[in-house]
Amino acid sequence: MENDNLKEEAENLLRELFPINRSITGSGVRKSLKILSKVADFEIKGVPSGTKCYDWEIPPEWELKDAYVEDSKGKRIIDIKDSNLHVMGYSTPVDRKVPYSELIAHIHTMSDMPDAIPYRTSYYDRKFGFCMKHRDFIALDKKETYHMYIDSSLKEGSLTYGERILKGTSGKEFIISTYCCHPSLANDNLSGMVLWVLLLRNLSKRKLRHTYRFVIAPETIGAIAYCSLNEEAMKNIEAGLVITTVAGPGKRGYKRSFMGSSIIDMAIEHVFRQSGIDFIRYPFDIQGSDERQFSSLPFRIPICTITKDKYYEYPYYHTSLDNLDFIKSDWLIEALGIYLKVIESLENSIVYAPLNHACEPMLGKRGAYPKTGGAINQNRKDAEKDKKSDLDVIKWILFLSDGKKTLLEISEETGIDSSRLNEAAIRLCKLSLLKEVK
C-alpha cells in the first residue's frame, strides 16, 4: 500500500511539473521548486545575475511569454502552447515576416527522428530559434511568407536553486544533487527531480550517521555557482550522487565515478549484486552532468549516477518523445528503493577496531557462543550458507575489523549483507569487543 501511494504521488508530481517551461533561470524554475518544497522542506535560494562564479557569470534571467510561427493566412505551424520545446532556450525577442529561405536559418529539426521536436538551447550566444518535427518542416510551402514571433525578455534577475543539509553524527558528508532546468523532458530530468524530493523526504525522517547535502539546481551553471558559494564545504565531501534519468523502460545501470573504486561505486555495486539486479556499468566520461563540476579541481568528489535509460543512451533523449508516456512512476519508485539501499550501505559503511588485541576473544563467557560445542560445523555441506550464520557473522567481523576496513568492504569480501554486519558490530561494541573508529 505504501508503494502504491508513492507511485500515485510520483505520478501526480510528474503530471503537475511536466508542462512548466523551465530553463537555467526564470519563473519556471521557481515555480517547480515551490511545488517540490511542499513534498519535502528545503530552502530556495537565488544567485543574482552578473555574479562571478569562477570563470563563469550568472546570466540575465530569461522569461518567455509567447512564441509562434504562422503563414500568411494566419495558420500557425509552430506554437509554444503545443510544446515548450518549440522555442530554443534563451531565444531573444523577434517579430518579423520573412521568406522561407530566411525562416529555415532559424529552424532546428531531426531528420533521423521525423516525429520528434528536438530540445535546443543558446544560453550564452544571443540569438533565437525554433524547433519542430522534421515531418512538418519538409511539408512547408517554400513560396510562403512566414511571421516569426517570440515575446521574451532577458533582464537582471537570479539563478534559483534549492538546498537542505541533513546532519549526521559521523563527521562524513555526502552530496545528493539533481538538475531542474529542462522543459517538458520526462526522463531527463523530471524523473530525477521527483526522485530527489522523495529521497529527501524519506531521509529527513531518519536518524542519520552521515550528513547528506541535498542540492537541486540548473545543470552546469547551477553546480558551478553552488561550488563557488560553498567552496570550503565542498572540499570536505566524501562522495555523492547526481540523480538523473531514472524512470525509462530500458536497463538499469550506473555511471562510475572518476575514481572508479570509491566508496560510492562500491556501495552501488554492492546493492545491485545483493538485489540480484542485472545492470550496465558505464565508465566515467567527461561528457555528462554535474559530476564534471563536483569532480573537478579543487574538489575531486567521486560522483556516480544510477540510471534507468541513461542520458545519451536512449533514442528519445533531448526530444519531445521523452514524454510522460515514455516513463513510469513504477520504475521511478523502484529506482527510489535502489537509492535508499545505497544510502543504507553508506550508513553501514563504518570502520571498527578490536578491543581484544590477541587471538579470538572468548565469546562463550559473553553469551555470544552456543552453550554446547562440537556440533557447529558437523556435516558442513554448504560453506556459504554456514558463513552467514549469526555466529559466523560475528567471527568474520572480529577477524576482519582492523581499524581500517569498512563494513562495506567486509561485506564485499564475505558476501554478508552490510545491514547484518552492522547489527552484529553494534552487539560486539556493547560486549566491549569492538569500538567504532571515527
Q: Greatest CA span in the chain, whole angstroms?
A: 97
Q: With helix as H, strand as E and coil as C, how does 55-105 read?
A: CEECCCEEEEEEEEEECCCCCEEEECCCCHHHECECCCCEEEEEEHHHHHH
Q: With helix as H, strand as E and coil as C, how does 10-34 read?
A: HHHHHHHHCCCCCCCCCHHHHHHHH
Q: What average pLDDT score do residues 289-294 get?
A: 97
Residue range 45-84, pLDDT digits in tens: 999 999 999 999 999 999 999 999 999 999 999 999 999 9
Question: Which CATH code is given to the segment(s) 351-437?
Answer: 1.10.10.10
Joined together, the cell numbers standing for residue 127 give 540569438
> What pLDDT score does 378 carry?
42
- At 380, the pLDDT band (50, 70, 90 cuts) reads very low
* Helix (H) / strand (E) containing 216: strand 211-217
> What pLDDT score does 53 carry?
98
Bridge partner residues of 52 (DSSP): 57
> What pLDDT score does 382 carry?
47
61-155 is classed in which CATH architecture? 3-Layer(bba) Sandwich (3.50)
> What pLDDT score does 365 carry?
84
- Determine the Cα–Cα distance for residues 163 and 40; give it in Å rounded to an integer: 11
The structure's pTM equals 0.91
Sorted by where each begins, the domain ranges of the chain are 2-59+158-347, 61-155, 351-437
Inter-CA distances, 233 with 174, 180, 185, Å: 11, 22, 32
Residue range 216-271, pLDDT digits in tens: 999 999 999 999 999 999 999 999 999 999 999 999 999 999 999 899 999 999 99
> What pLDDT score does 392 carry?
87
- Determine the Cα–Cα distance for residues 185 and 360; give it in Å rounded to an integer: 58
CATH topology of domain 2-59+158-347: Aminopeptidase (3.40.630)
Residue range 347-372, pLDDT digits in tens: 988 889 998 778 888 888 888 776 55
Residues 6+ apart with CB under 8 A from 264: 174, 239, 240, 241, 257, 302, 303, 304, 342, 346
Average pLDDT over the chain, rounded to whole? 93
pLDDT at residue 105 greater than cutoff 70? yes
Residues 209/419, Cβ–Cβ less than 8 Å: no
